[in-house]
Amino acid sequence: NGKETTLDDFKFPLDPIISLASKNIITRRYVNKTKTRGSIKERWSQDDWEITISGVIIAAKEVYPKATLKALRDFCDAPKSVDVICDLLNEMDIYRISIESVDFPFTKGIGNQAFVIKAYSDGDYDLLIKN
């Protein structure tokens, strides 16, 4: 429409598939000279959510979807964490993500292009605490 697009305006094409995985950070300690089997587990923290977003860009006509692909690439190349609005992510208290990688695998058909994005949940952190 002649309107400049920003990251705030970006929307994924159609319905992408979103997968989430998380884990607890646990340190295992082994006690020497004990008669019990196993280790002592110390739960320290919860790790970031690992997020995989995959989908297919499908052009309206049988032409390569250059504009949508460029918008997706600009989104993935942003040198910052990006805010997200998604019921699934927001339900898990994920409102910002940091994109680690993007993959554009071979896709059959000139008007189609698959994509896979790997990201981590991110948040607001104050690294400097004033006394």
Banded pLDDT at 30 (limits 50, 70, 90): confident
Position 43 scores a pLDDT of 82
Strand, coil or helix: 68: helix
**Side-chain half-sphere exposure of 1, counting CA atoms within 13 A:** 3
What does the pLDDT read at residue 53? 95
pLDDT digits (tens, 9 = 90+) for 35-77: 778 888 888 889 999 999 999 988 888 888 888 888 889 889 8
What element of type H or E holds 89? helix 87-91
Among candidates 43, 44, 51, which has minimal Cα distance to 95?
51
Residue 94: exposure state from Cβ atoms within 10 A (0-12, 13-18, ≥19):
buried
Compare 14 and 18 and report the one with higher pLDDT.
18
First to last CA, the chain: 51
Say yes or no to pLDDT of 114 above 60: yes
**In this structure, what is the dihedral angle of CA atoms 66, 121, 78, 110, given to the nearest 10 degrees?**
-10
